[in-house]
Amino acid sequence: MIGMSRSRDFQVIAKRLKKIRISKGMTQAEVAKKAGISTNHYATIERGETVSAVSLDNFRRILDALEVEFSSVLCF
């Protein structure tokens, strides 16, 4: 059951990242470039496919690229 809950949490985070990106008028490529990761990697994160495998450093860089705080994405 913990795995299912974690998976849902990652899906929520992924949806929030996408919503924030769109609200800022940014493309996935723009976020990825600012974060220093590949567009493909960012796209898989945003789809919720690899959120659990994202390093904290990359997650921080994505949030910096989007100019948002951890709390805006992680509050459940």
pLDDT digit string, tens, across residues 36-73: 999 999 999 999 886 567 888 999 999 999 999 988 88
Per-domain residue ranges of the chain: 2-74
pTM of the complete model: 0.84
| Closest by Cα among 30, 49, 29, 47 to 39 | 29
pLDDT digit string, tens, across residues 6-40: 678 888 899 999 999 999 999 999 999 999 999 99
CATH superfamily label, 2-74: lambda repressor-like DNA-binding domains (1.10.260.40)
